[in-house]
Amino acid sequence: MKHLLIKNIFIISFFYTLGILSQVVMAQDLGTRIAFVNLERILSESKMAKDAQTKMQQEFGPREKEVRDGVARIKSDAAQLDKDAAILPEPDRIRKQRELADQDRELQRKQRELIEDSQRRGAEERAKIFERANQVLKIIVEQKKLDLVVQDAAFVSPRIDITSDVINALNAR
């Protein structure tokens, strides 16, 4: 029964794929011009994306350093407390443990805020890049008289990949 179900699913998938491929072939026969653009490459290779990355590193670098330094300081203080725990009076040891726990909570809060702020700013910068890339893409589509531009595909012929054109146009502006 299970084997029959798998066989039927395979047959249905095969005909579905065949139908899609035949539509693409028919579209090509009708003179439909198709292109591909890789947004990940645009986000990593364009000057606008590199500038945004540099800007974010400058903006968040000091806070990241502060968090890294805080982690190192807490580790150092915890190691010192472990060493001194045997000779410290009970009230002092408890007080230092509480101080260390408070410092750790504060550091975790700062770390969460940093991550949230960084993610928010990253999303804002990506949105700017996507908006500008879409404007450039529309111009390229009109110039090349393209009918369809896809962003995801299992295989792409370099002949229809216009990602470099988009990156070059973005960099030129």
The predicted-structure confidence for 74-127, as pLDDT tens digits, reads as follows 999 999 988 888 888 989 889 999 999 999 999 999 999 999 999 999 999 999
Kind and range of the H or E element at 35?
strand 34-36
Mean pLDDT for 159-171 is 93
Q: What is the pLDDT of residue 152?
A: 83
Half-sphere exposure at residue 97, Cβ-oriented, CA atoms within 13 angstroms: 11
In this structure, what token pair is assigned to residue 170?
A: 């973005």
Alpha-carbon gap, residue 38 to 164, rounded angstroms: 9
Q: What is the pLDDT of residue 173?
A: 75
Cβ atoms of residues 144 and 33 within 8 Å: yes
In this structure, what token pair is assigned to residue 159?
A: 């002949």
Alpha-carbon gap, residue 93 to 91, rounded angstroms: 6
Using the Cα atoms of residue 95, residue 73, residue 105 and residue 83 in order, give the sign of their dihedral.
negative
In this structure, what token pair is assigned to residue 101?
A: 């726990």
The predicted-structure confidence for 31-68, as pLDDT tens digits, reads as follows 788 999 999 999 999 999 999 999 999 999 999 999 99
Q: What is the pLDDT of residue 144?
A: 92
pLDDT tops 90 at residue 138: yes
Kind and range of the H or E element at 150?
strand 148-150
Residue 125 φ then ψ, to 5°: -65, -40
